[in-house]
Amino acid sequence: MSTPEEDIRPVVTVTLNPAIDQTITVEALRPGHVHRASAVRRNAGGKGVNVASCLADWGTPVIATGLLGSGNAAAFEALFAAKGIADRFVRLPGETRVNVKIADLAAADTTDLNLPGLTADADALDRVRRTLRELVLPGTPVLLAGSLPDGLPADSYATLTADLRAQGARVVLDSSGPPLAAALAAPDLPFCIKPNRHELEAWAGRPLPAAADLLEAARGLHRSGVAVVVVSLGADGALFVADGPALHARLPAVDALSTVGAGDAMVAGLIAAFGVDLPLEGVARLSVAFATAKLGCFGPNLPGADAVRALAGQVELSTL
């Protein structure tokens, strides 16, 4: 497996609806009761920002763009400065939303409360499109991630994907609901998507209770033109579908300090693997290792590269 320093290509992440994640830890969440928090953490986040943070920890050069409220941008600017992430966010008047995450230690689970955020318009999206035209070269991995802010149409990711495909970028899309459906119905498809089971069921419009059901849905998306389809399954690892045999990859269960952002870490692993052209087995190993390594860290962070590589070597692979 390539080391993080070898033959690295810069990555661009796009986050149109970032957030400041406030994680409140309680011993046991009991609805209707008063709780005393044991810890409170605030992190600049949103899917694309989290992915950029993990990639920076791995040693990948990252440029982050999207839409950011000028009223509380300091938390993001501090993160970007600390991790060496190039900040090309478009600033809008107002404040970026705050997401409250209640971490329940007894249940090893997290409850999310996502607050309202910025409202954007066509001009804001055009400013992001112009920024991407300046940043993206043929072969650049570009991540489009997360929900859309109020004011932007559901086909916004489809629009950006068409732009980026025309520039020769490899687009990784990590979204859900109408934005994902619109992107998958468009003529220009992303290179890779990473739905979880619930998101894939929502797109398919039916339950997918068995692994065979998930696999067939993923293979259908691959046949339609998505080069790599990854279905994340939480503690059960992930399915990987591309040309050739499909793979199931997982690691044994580990004690988790925080499950928040594990899916984003998996996306970071996918992009890190794509950046050095690993085969599907390498993509599966590295992305599952990223997600597992993240479980031992609070916030959008990874441990050292040696620890991640050690986990990648332990990933259990089976051919489907």
Residues marked as catalytic? 264
Cα dihedral sign for 311, 313, 316, 319? positive
Beta bridge partners of 103: 25, 110
Asked if 284 and 278 count as a contact pair (C-beta separation under 8 A), the reply is: no
Asked if 78 and 93 count as a contact pair (C-beta separation under 8 A), the reply is: no
| Terminal-to-terminal C-alpha distance of the chain | 23
211 sits in which H/E element: helix 211-224
Cα distance between residue 223 and residue 215, in whole Å: 12
Provide the 8-state DSSP code for 58: H
Cα distance between residue 18 and residue 39, in whole Å: 23
Asked if 250 and 238 count as a contact pair (C-beta separation under 8 A), the reply is: yes
Asked if 186 and 164 count as a contact pair (C-beta separation under 8 A), the reply is: no
- Cα-Cα-Cα-Cα torsion 37, 41, 46, 47, nearest 10 degrees, comes to -90
Cα distance between residue 10 and residue 63, in whole Å: 7
Place of tokens 């994680």: 23
271 sits in which H/E element: helix 262-275
Tokens representing 161 are 């994907």
Beta bridge partners of 241: 229
Asked if 95 and 101 count as a contact pair (C-beta separation under 8 A), the reply is: no
